[in-house]
Structure 1
Amino acid sequence: MFFTLSKIVWFLLSPVNLMILLAALAAVLAFTRFARPARWLGALALLGLLLLAFSPLPRIVVRPLENRFPQQEAAKGPVTGIVVLGGAIGVARGDVVMNYAAARMTKAVELARLHPGAKVVFTGGGANLLSPVIKTEADGAKLLFEGLGLPPERLVLEDKSRNTRENAIFTRALVTPKPGERWLLVTSASHMPRAMGVFRKAGFPVEAFPVDYLSADEPADFIRPYRKASRGLDISDDAFKEWVGLVAYYAAGYTDALFPAP
């Protein structure tokens, strides 16, 4: 129920979707007796889209999320296992496809080579609400990892989870971590606070290994505009989704802290 509701609510509350829906409503109202307020509503929607697409606002919103858990030295060891969260990979036409979060996958391979005794655990099924899952993210991870030279016996693939909470619960049951072991959690830096909160709640002690940064952690983050609207809109959605997700997961009892910290 939570999975389905979260997909529907986020479709409506996504900043980009919301601005477009408001613009569409303004266009409809423009042909009614509400034409005057419709102009204001349309102007508001256009201003919102411009801010999300070209202003520094997306970086400003994402910075606190990405700064919450510091970067680690990749070679620091020993490491029992590397847990990689889905959200970056899939399969199309029998081949691997990756999105802008591909650093999750490439960093996992780098860590695996630095720590040859560590297991590589990928967790991700399918999160599509409207169509059946034919090839899971785990299928894509298997193709990629083996294609890059990781032996199959090092891989642990979890292919049932649909969200971060299920990532944590299903993976813990699969690998049964023991006291004294060191497990690294690899995911996008903006997603790390929510992911760490969920894994802690699930009783799986992991160390944060954030990747895929969307801000530079420099003063320019507050003034540099985006050159492509699509990039700004993507980051806006990702950043606001994480803030909303933190509140929703805390309210649902999936994490013990509203903004998990190291």
Structure 2
Amino acid sequence: MDLFYTLSKVLWTLAVPSNFVLFVGVLGLVIVFLGSRRSGLVLIALAVAGQLVMGFSPLSQHLLSPLEERFPPFIPGAERIDGIILLGGAEVPDIALTRGIPAVNDAAERVIVFAALARAYPEAALVFSGTSGVLDGGGPLESAAIREALVDVGIDMARVRFETRARNTAENAAFTRDLVKPNEGARWLLVTSAFHIPRAVGCFRAVGFPVIAAPVDYRTIDPAALNIVYSRAASGMDMTDLAAKEWVGLLAYYMTGKIGDLFPAPIERR
């Protein structure tokens, strides 16, 4: 099994902010019961403070905004587009395959925009990239789960090729390149969530497959409207986890050579 993939899954489970503050709080309780009341209460207080800040404050919005604003939205026009790539992550494989119905999550805009772009560029090749994200690889395939959803949004399945090995963004890039073997100068769109676009574009560039970013699924309203307060701590924590995953992912991918720039940007801005 790939060591990087295994470590990224295991370590992130421990380090994800919502889990980390819980672990700190539990550790504080254990220390209190072991007799070190003051040290334990400090850890419990830190855990509660972390939960309040990450759960209710605008912190997550400020973390997400630079990621989402890094690349501009793609506006379809008269330019030639040779292909469109959709990265997995919008589907819910367990539900879709068990119930036999389309099932998507809050990243469903990826599928909607993919279909719209497919209609805007009827001659473009279409590719879906993704497989099971389960650590042991035994989970249901994203590619199998997404088929019904693509049919429902009007995609001609005869146009779609499926890359079914990629477990992470770096593999999305490498395996999709191997599948389509793009010609030099080919113009391919990459559809994924806006917060994920910098890392995804960086991965495709690193394997010699430059793509045009088509960010979707925005989680922030506007850079001038970030100071919102969440009414549910769970909502704020979800967004904090999301932002932290991308920033940590950028650093980890840069340090391991999976992207060439720490924070990839549009070519004209570099």
- 1:225 CA drift (Å): 0.6
SS in 2 for 1:89: coil
Q: Is the 8 A contact 1:75 1:115 kept in 2?
A: no
> 1:28 is matched with which residue?
30
- 1:75 CA drift (Å): 3.8
Aligned residues: 260
Q: 2:109 aligns with which of 84, 100, 103?
A: 103
How big is the alpha-carbon RMSD for the aligned residues of Structure 1 and Structure 2?
Answer: 1.3
Following the alignment from structure 2 to structure 1, what is the Cα–Cα distance between the partners of residues 259 and 223? 30
Q: 1:9 aligns with which of 8, 11, 23?
A: 11
Q: 2:42 aligns with which of 31, 40, 44?
A: 40
- Deviation string, structure 1 residues 104-152 (Cα, Å, up to 9, x no partner): 111101111111111221100011115712x311112222112322222
Which TM-score applies when normalising by structure 1? 0.95
SS in 1 for 2:27: helix
Following the alignment from structure 1 to structure 2, what is the Cα–Cα distance between the partners of residues 165 and 143? 26
Alignment of 1:1-262 (within 5 A): 1-91=3-93, 92=95, 93-130=99-136, 132-133=138-139, 135-221=140-226, 223-262=227-266
Q: Is the 8 A contact 1:75 1:111 kept in 2?
A: no
SS in 1 for 2:213: strand
- 1:96 CA drift (Å): 2.1
Q: Is the 8 A contact 2:103 2:149 kept in 1?
A: no
Q: Which residue identity is paired with 2:54?
A: L
Q: Is the 8 A contact 1:90 1:136 kept in 2?
A: no
Q: Is the 8 A contact 2:126 2:161 kept in 1?
A: yes
- Deviation string, structure 1 residues 65-87 (Cα, Å, up to 9, x no partner): 11111112134532111111111
Following the alignment from structure 2 to structure 1, what is the Cα–Cα distance between the partners of residues 125 and 111? 14
SS in 1 for 2:75: coil
Q: Is the 8 A contact 1:4 1:129 kept in 2?
A: yes
**Identical-residue share of aligned pairs (%):** 44
After the TM superposition, which of the residue ranges 212-221 and 109-118 deviates more from structure 2? 212-221
- 1:90 CA drift (Å): 3.0
Following the alignment from structure 1 to structure 2, what is the Cα–Cα distance between the partners of residues 260 and 181? 20
Following the alignment from structure 1 to structure 2, what is the Cα–Cα distance between the partners of residues 206 and 39? 51
Which TM-score applies when normalising by structure 2? 0.93
Following the alignment from structure 1 to structure 2, what is the Cα–Cα distance between the partners of residues 143 and 194? 28
- 1:220 CA drift (Å): 2.5
